[in-house]
Chains A and B, each alone.
Chain A
Amino acid sequence: MTPTFSSTAGVPRWSRRVALAAGAALLAAAPIVTAEAVQTEVTEQTLEKADGNPANWITYGRDLSAHRYSPLDQINRGNVSHLHVAYTLQLGGAEGGGIWSHAGLEGTPIVQNGFMYVTDGWGSVYKLDLHGGHAALVWKMDPKTDHDWAGTVACCGIDNRGVALWHDAVISHTLDGRMLATDDKTGKILWQRQIADPDKSESITGAPLVVNDIAITGVAGGEYGIRGWIAATDLVTHKEIWRTHTIPTKGEAGSKTWSDSYDARKTGGGATWVTGTYDPVLDTIYWGVGNPGPDWDHEFRPGDNLYSDSMLALDPHTGRIKWYFQYTPNDAFDYDGVSEAVLVDAPSGRKLALAAQRNGFAYAIDRTDGKFVWGTKFVDKLTWTKGLNPTTGKPVEYDPNKAVQMYNAAGTPDRAKGSTLICPGSMGGKNWPPTAYNPNLKLWYIPVIESCNLIKTVEAKEHPMLKPGGGFSGGGPSDPVRITGSVAAIDVSTGRIVAKQHMPFPSLGGLVATPDLVFSSEPDGDFVALDARTLKRLWHFQTGSGLNAPPVSFAVDGKQYIAVLAGLGGAWDKWYIDGTPELKKIAPGSMLYVFALN
């Protein structure tokens, strides 16, 4: 980003709104905004039109609707076979901490006017100058994350999924629970605040979502008996303006869905660890909520356990919950409902929020009111229910009068069986790796984990004495069955799967769509281009690492590039590796790959 402000009176450049509010005297000394500044800075206005500049990728999902669609078409069906590595850059931050032997890369690179912003697992931010056909480090901001503190309470790896841009600040999170604003020009930390508390087993892995001059944060820790929340920080005052808990307190709407006599809601989980989306017309934030705690002992927490496993629609000004849609009431599977809501207007004109979940179903929800529109099974094997009620979208066996839902009883974990094979397995289905949407073809692409796993149910203790990182899971998974993957394409007009490409390994990194193509990150290091209509494999490159991060597409000096971070980390190689034994041999890494033609 080119520096675009001059500050002659010592007023921090990011305090535009404060200056405006402080009266005429201060206003006279406020920074001068040039015409160019309006064009080159990331503001609420540019974010709301993020898909307007084809060269850039200025927010986590490329646009606030999370389409992850780049209209660039220099790389297309006809020439993708000539795609090759243009340049690479070795990053850092692969070291371990706490219970983790190493970190990984899960971040979405952000690209603005030829500069790229990436993070490593420990939250260091790297600003790279991509002009001239190579990546040159402009600065690195190391937040000095407390490795052992954060690494002891992180359930699922040393992860950070990227930054957000706001005026001349780069907004990021750390695993030990902080938000930082870094000066885009100098790489110096402008301010930081603690948002999550690792002493309560809270950590942060998601990228912030910036809308309306606020940055929204989700929390991780659903395996440790946290009470989840979503928090909004005012980027002008650096103060928190709202915090919405995902598990209601006693007496609050939804609290009766926790019908036990020992306050199970206090350790009710409901983490919010995947970045949400925003509709500026409806002025609504959409954010997914994770599993209830304990993960696998659903008899501990009779009731539907709101708002676990739900999509929430929130007022961005107050955090008020406008409506919710719950996918898996009284979840016994660890089927987090955290997946991003992809905001798509159907050909019928209906405003949809699409979300593909760990439970193996892809949902279309009316994003004006939370009503179910359609649901489609996208995994090969699904045994926990016979299907979704076509009117309500609830599993057909769901009975609102029952305290404990057994769905298809043979495939639902409970204390009596003790050990239950569930399909999809607890990782999904579709996990955090993001989907992509091609608005021309009206096709929505899902990165799929084709899995079953074995759940051991262990009765949780009432009034547990929880220790940071001590765990409150009510059992655990193991992986006696081979796990593979696929990419599925759903026609959003009909909700039907129109193509599926099977992959040898689960999809742990995610997708990007272009007019002709879909690029997929594979955990064995393969980087694959698929045909946008048929999902036929057109090209691949073996990175010699493990891909655990979503690809992006952008242009610098008029030339299109595809980029992806390489470095296998996350939950998989600790908890699920037995389902994919070949991935055991992949060594830790930390590398940026950038691809181009010629």
Chain B
Amino acid sequence: MMLRSAGLVSALCGLVLCPPPAAFAQQPQASAAEGASIFREAGCISCHKWSGTGGGGYGGSAANLRKTQLDPSQIAETVRCGHPMGGMPYFQQDAYATNSCYGYKQGDLNSKTMPPAAEHFLQPREIKEVAAYVATELKGRGDPTFEQCVAFFGHATHVCNDYPHAGGAAAGAGEAAHHVVIDAAPDQNEGAH
């Protein structure tokens, strides 16, 4: 079965449906795309927003990942273990089975200090990918740009309309068609006393 599957993959890749494995491994963009995909599917986007800026929103504030001071291994530990006493969930199912999270295990934390479990846990490989994505594509990247937004969401949406272009061009410059026009009627209460 394994052999047959491997043969099928080779055959498909022979039809140029897959990049060569070596090239895949060397392309940072492919890795970023996978990290972005996990960032989205795992729900990181729900609180940290696509840009990692976090903050605001209805449910309080999440950390601004673009301004994080954590190093890559600390970022990975935060994804794995969540944030004790904070809202950040832990994404590794057995994270607190041993002392691998800040030196704590299950019994060391109570209901107030134990971080929430993620809605969907991640595989160790996925944790590594998404932590690398945060460390390289979000941390220290300044304010989010139109290009970064399009890289995340693609062109089929208007969500990137208002982000400035890299290099400081005006928001949505050259993308004027993206902006909606609303043919609103005048407000007849305005001016009334």
Contact = CB atoms under 8 A, between A and B. Distances in A.
B189 A248 contact: yes
A320 interface: yes
Nearest to A467: B162
Nearest to B87: A478
A148 interface: yes
Interface of A: 98-101, 146-149, 152, 155-156, 176-177, 193-199, 223, 229, 231-232, 239-245, 248-249, 251-253, 318-321, 456, 458, 467-473, 475-478, 571, 574-575, 584
Contacts of B161: 149, 199, 468
B113 interface: no
A232 B47 CA distance: 35
A497 B46 CA distance: 40
Nearest to B55: A471
9 contacts: A146-B157, A152-B159, A176-B158, A240-B184, A242-B187, A252-B191, A318-B188, A468-B162, A476-B57
Contact of B187 (A243, A470, A472): A243
Interface string B58-73: 1111000000000000
A199 B179 contact: yes
B20 interface: no
What's the interface size class on B, roughly? 35 or more
Contacts of B83: none
A240 B58 contact: no
B187 A245 contact: yes
Nearest to B158: A149
Contacts of A99: 45-47, 49, 57
Nearest to A178: B180
A78 to B, nearest CB: 44
B58 A473 contact: yes
Given A101-B43, A156-B58, 7 more contacts: A148-B159, A152-B49, A155-B57, A196-B182, A198-B158, A319-B187, A319-B188
A579 to B, nearest CB: 13
A245 B185 contact: no
Contacts of A146: 157-159
Interface of B: 43, 45-47, 49-50, 55-61, 119, 153, 157-159, 161-162, 179-193
Contact of A197 (B46, B182, B187, B193): B182
B58 A476 contact: yes
B177 to A, nearest CB: 13
Contact of B50 (A152, A244, A471, A574): A152
Given A148-B159, A471-B57, A476-B60, A252 B192 contact: yes
Contacts of A251: 191, 193
Contacts of B186: 242-243
B189 A319 contact: yes
Contacts of A456: 60
A199 B180 CA distance: 8
A473 B157 CA distance: 26
A244 B55 CA distance: 32
B189 A199 contact: no
Nearest to A144: B156
B61 to A, nearest CB: 7
Nearest to B117: A584
The 5 closest A-B pairs by CB, nearest first: A471-B56, A476-B60, A471-B57, A240-B185, A148-B157
B56 A472 contact: yes
Nearest to B120: A101
Given A197-B180, A231-B185, A473-B58, A101 B191 contact: no
B58 A320 contact: no
B157 A243 contact: no
Contacts of B158: 146, 149, 176, 198-199
A232 B187 CA distance: 11
A193 B47 CA distance: 31
Contact of B49 (A242, A469, A475): A469
A478 B180 CA distance: 35
A126 to B, nearest CB: 24
Contacts of B191: 251-252
Q: Which of B49, B50, B159 has the most CB of A within 10 A?
A: B159
Contacts of A248: 189-190
Nearest to A456: B60
B187 A244 contact: yes
A229 B186 CA distance: 11
Contacts of B162: 199, 467-468
B46 A193 contact: no
